[in-house]
Amino acid sequence: MTSHEVARSEIRRLRAQLAERTADLQRVKAEYDNYRKRVHRDRLAVREIAVANVLARLLPVMDAIEQAREHGEVSGGFAVVAEELEAQLGALGLESIGKAGNPFDPVVHDALSYTSSDEVGRATCTAVLRSGYRVGGHVLRPAEVAVAGPPALDSPRSRQHAG
């Protein structure tokens, strides 16, 4: 074997080693990037859970403010405190759910009463008995509602209207 052939053989071997090390480095970099993404995602999830837990503990305070409003007892300095509390909780992502007139959704509503009505084409919230809340896509508490819906097709009342 000539010295040129030996040199070429050595260059091929070194290139193969370089390709192997480059592939190893790319794999390690991809694993590290995935690790960083996973840690970031986990941190966000922990933060969301912590915020949701704190907000859930404040729901009785929100209920008390809502009841005080219904009785006309939110005024003066208390009104300012209530509005600021609601604004800050809203900034953390707390969102009230459940409005009269909304279609009934068992994911965000808890029906406490149901009445049949010819005036609605589908189950509809007629009154909110206690507000529900969510943060992000997580329902902290479903809204407690009264629901009206169309009469059942096989009920005696429906058969009277059909006949």
Q: Within a domain: residue 153?
A: yes
Q: Which domain holds residue 131?
A: 95-163
- In-domain check, residue 139: yes
Judge whether 129 lies within some domain.
yes
Within a domain: 106: yes
Q: Does residue 38 form part of some domain?
A: no
- Mean pLDDT in residue range 60-85: 93
Q: Render pLDDT for 21-49 as a digit per residue (tens, 0 to 9).
A: 999 999 999 999 999 999 999 999 999 89
Amino acid at 68: A
In a domain, 24, yes or no: no
Q: How confident is the model at residue 163 (pLDDT cuts 50, 70, 90)?
A: very low
In b/e form, how buried is each residue of 46-79, taking b as 16+ CB within 10 angstroms?
eeeeebbeebeeebeebeebbeeeeeeebeeeee
In a domain, 55, yes or no: no
Q: How confident is the model at residue 130 (pLDDT cuts 50, 70, 90)?
A: very high
Residue, of 93 and 152, whose pLDDT is higher:
93
Instruction: Provide the domain count of the chain.
Output: 1
Identify which of 142, 147, 99, 145 has the alpha carbon closest to the alpha carbon of residue 123: 147
Report the CATH number at residue 103: 2.30.22.10
> Does residue 110 lie in a domain region?
yes
